[in-house]
Amino acid sequence: MSRANIAIIGAGLGGLTCAIALLQRGLKVDIFEAATAIEETGAGLTLGLGAQHVFRALSLQNRVAATACPAGGLPFLHYSSGDVLLGELDPGDGSPDDGEANIIRHIYRADLQKVLLEEFEKLGGKAHTGKRLSRYSQDAQTATAHFADDTQREADVLIGADGVRSAVRAQMVPDDQPRFTNHVAYRCLVPMERARPFMGLGRSAIFVGPGRTFNRYTMAKGAVVNLAGLVETDEEVPEGWSTAAPRAEVMQAFDGWHSDVTGLIAEAGDSIKWGLYDRAPLPTWSEGRITMLGDAVHAMLPFLGMGAAMAIEDGYVLAQMLAQHSDMRVALARYETLRITRTNQVHAASKRQGEITQSIDPDNFALAGAPVNNRAMMEFDPTAEFV
């Protein structure tokens, strides 16, 4: 497909990774983003090993690592006493490394998106903003994206990389409905100068208590602390970043927890909360010349920290298939074959990890057999087949 014209809907991490890989292989790519400007957004995320293998293959890993923080041991701590339940305390200061070590890292989503945007533009990629997809259509030769501003664009392949609220998925699978998992996530950021008094138990840690966890780690070269509290609840909260949570609500959710937890919450001010929803895996990701990647096709729970990595892996593998196969149908079928088993495994494992973690009795801690200990899954290299 050497002269293929690819249209990607969405300028998130998976879409940008796919676009960069396609441009490096000589294909023509345009990104269409619903927002009126591509602004780096989001909180912290975990860069799993698979995602970092992709960045090495794209010659981006040193630039990514330069803005990230090595994850360290990420120990599990008792919610009230702070005693170490598993692992070791992380005394690091969050300083970035050269990216060569094969370790997990934490990064501010905005920093990663900036690296990817810069590379995309350097390669001559074009991002069109204010292009909200209304629908797509296709015939035997062409896929067409129809936008809300009454414009359209034809392409050989259209890729839905438009996230959990994907317009592509909504058309392809119209009866698909997300399922509330009875969990809500609180997210916020604290500058290190305010967080420092409450970081005595190390740079990164997961506090574990009855029906909830509190994860905190540094990013942005150690300058910012990312907070993520996951709580079981019967209150159905919408998805997305639009629901504010007053500090008093978050403090109540973690009442009686270690002073490092409550101190960080106090310094954070108000937070954002969103409901965690599960979507059943799809039997197929494609329809003719249309396909999907990342959260658009397999949004998953955050308990393994693998959601972003799966989108990045998808983007890389899809680009390799489109570059290698002149027949689009063969390319998309091969892409699904390579990715659907992997993402279904991680989707199920993330759900199972949440069930285990949120039901742990911290006074009788046991994590043996949990998915997080599956090294083959956690250390998978999606680039190995294409070296």
In this prediction, residue 363 carries a pLDDT of 83
Between 349 and 73, residue with greater pLDDT? 349
Q: Does domain 5-177+279-386 have CATH number 1.10.1280.10?
A: no
Q: Which residues make Cβ contacts (< 8 Å) with residue 330, sequence separation at least 6?
A: none
- pLDDT of 362 > 60? The answer is yes
DSSP letters for 107-174:
EEHHHHHHHHHHHHHHTT-EEE-S--EEEEEE-SS-EEEEETTS-EEEESEEEE---TT-HHHHHHST
Distance CA 299, CA 343 (A): 10
User: Stretch 332-337: mean pLDDT, rounded?
Assistant: 96
In this prediction, residue 3 carries a pLDDT of 57
Distance CA 174, CA 167 (A): 10
In this prediction, residue 86 carries a pLDDT of 86
Task: Give residue-wise pLDDT tens across range 263-303.
Answer: 999 998 778 888 888 888 899 999 999 999 999 999 888 88
User: Stretch 48-70: mean pLDDT, rounded?
Assistant: 95
Residue 251, judged by CB atoms within 10 A of its CB (0-12, 13-18, 19+), counts as middle
Average model confidence (pLDDT) across the chain: 91
In this prediction, residue 241 carries a pLDDT of 62
In this prediction, residue 1 carries a pLDDT of 44
In this prediction, residue 61 carries a pLDDT of 96
In this prediction, residue 260 carries a pLDDT of 96
Tell me, what amino acid is at 330?
A: V
Model confidence at 311, pLDDT cuts 50, 70, 90, reads very high
In this prediction, residue 387 carries a pLDDT of 64
- pLDDT of 118 > 90? The answer is yes
In this prediction, residue 32 carries a pLDDT of 97
Task: Give residue-wise pLDDT tens across range 1-43.
Answer: 445 799 999 999 999 999 999 999 999 999 999 988 776 566 7
Model confidence at 214, pLDDT cuts 50, 70, 90, reads very high
In this prediction, residue 220 carries a pLDDT of 87
E strand or H helix that includes residue 287: none
In this prediction, residue 2 carries a pLDDT of 45
Q: Which residues make Cβ contacts (< 8 Å) with residue 109, sequence separation at least 6?
A: 13, 40, 41, 42, 43, 44, 45, 308
- pLDDT of 235 > 90? The answer is no
Between 39 and 89, residue with greater pLDDT? 89
In this prediction, residue 242 carries a pLDDT of 63
Of the listed ranges 26-40, 57-71, 187-201, the one predicted with least confidence: 26-40
In this prediction, residue 365 carries a pLDDT of 77
Model confidence at 137, pLDDT cuts 50, 70, 90, reads very high
- pLDDT of 177 > 60? The answer is yes
Query: What global pTM score does this model have?
Result: 0.93
Cα distances (Å, whole numbers) of residue 208 to 75, 92, 262, 274, 351: 10, 21, 14, 20, 17
In this prediction, residue 39 carries a pLDDT of 67
